[in-house]
Amino acid sequence: MTNIENDNLFLNLLTENNLKRIKIDSELIPTFKIVIAKINDFFSENGLMNVKDWNSFFEEFLISDNPDQLCIKLGRLDNVSHGGEYSKINKEIVMNIDDTSPNGISKGICHDFCHEFIHFLVMHDSNSLNAKISDSMFFNEGMTEYLTGCIMGTGNNSFYYREYKMAEFYCKITKNPFAYFLNDKFAFEDDYYAPMNLIRSSDKFQNDNKLDSYLSIQREIINNGIDDCSINSFEDFANIVTIINQRPRYDGEYINYIFERISNKYLEKMNLDEQQKNNIKDKLITFCKVSNKYQLYDDNEVAEYLIDDLHIGFDKKGKHYNDFPLNGTSKRGQIGFDGVSKITVTHRDKTYVINTEKMNCKNWKEFYDKAYNDLEKEIDLLTMQTIENNESKTSFKR
């Protein structure tokens, strides 16, 4: 039976008595009510009401008059044109005054306020000496923005675009990521080396903003995700392959190594002889690659091109898929289409022309569906044969 009172923990903040006890500017109360109601709905629907003792948390940090009580106010933030800021040190959320709005409150204030309030939920009582998510600006902002997008239904439309994409991927490959995040923890079984390596990689990206550093974060997430996942069936195998193929960046060569690693992990669970394993392993890896193409291009007729180091696909309408051209020293990376038959790609100061009339397009969904069905049937047959052989051996011994 659902605990109705527990499902409304956040709504209790909106009672007249509690609103009087919260330190909040009156102009922000309407925003507070909207955001708290959204958080309550999302937390209730996604099993997040019990990840902390929210009653005690709110009593200590939001509705009781003490040195740790949060203050929520309008103000002017230096070098910020909109949004807001949470400060654990100052025990406050400051929502920036928008001079373009008559009442000083921006149109997007509900999203921005939700973002800052989540920072408060995660960080205000966090004091662990172990490596934690808030030690990394990249993961802290990415997870906060991703959770905000889920709660408010606003998606990825913020300044933290790349952080959001990586957080979204991290949440797909881990178990109960929001529950861990709200306790300022990473959701990996390895709670020592994994957090340290992720923080190190993310800090490097924050400093140099390079693709290699971004890929390093992605690789750490994939490595730890594979370590934690169980692959006991072909469905499990296909699911983890699908998730990995939804990574933010392509990283082809490294992912080929990951495909082999996943295939080996699955094969360890299958009671096959060496010849059978070798035969099925090639097919598993081929399936991984077909799945990758399907994730990249969905149900579209696409032709693929390798242009220098650029892995890109186009349909005959000029729409591109996967990588985007990089800037050079004198030209901006870009794609042009004349609306008829000519696609122009400018990548690293070089220009390439593709004639859509000469494209060899494929629909990778069709390849994926066939590969999935064929491989599933073959594995089922091998499993049945193995069971029959084992039973036959057992009968013979008797």
- At 191, give phi and psi (nearest 5°): -95, 15
What is residue 305's three-state secondary structure?
strand
pLDDT recorded at residue 340: 94
Summarize pLDDT for 92-101 with one digit per residue, the tens. Answer: 999 998 767 7
What is residue 291's three-state secondary structure?
helix
Low-confidence stretches of the chain (pLDDT < 50) are 1-4, 396
Rounded to a whole number of angstroms, the distance between the first and last alpha carbons of the chain is: 52
DSSP string covering 181-235: HTTT---SS--SHHHHHHHHHHHHHHHH--HHHHHHHHHHHHHHHHHH----SHH
Mean pLDDT value across the chain: 91
Look up residue 190 and give its two tokens: 């390895």
What is residue 352's three-state secondary structure?
strand
pLDDT recorded at residue 2: 38
- At 96, give phi and psi (nearest 5°): -70, 135
pLDDT recorded at residue 174: 97
pLDDT recorded at residue 280: 93
Helix residue ranges, H only, 54-160: 54-61, 109-123, 137-152
Strand spans (E) along the chain? 23-24, 71-75, 84-87, 92-96, 301-307, 310-314, 320-322, 334-337, 342-347, 350-355, 362-363
Non-local CB neighbours of 50 within 8 Å, separated by 6+ positions:
6
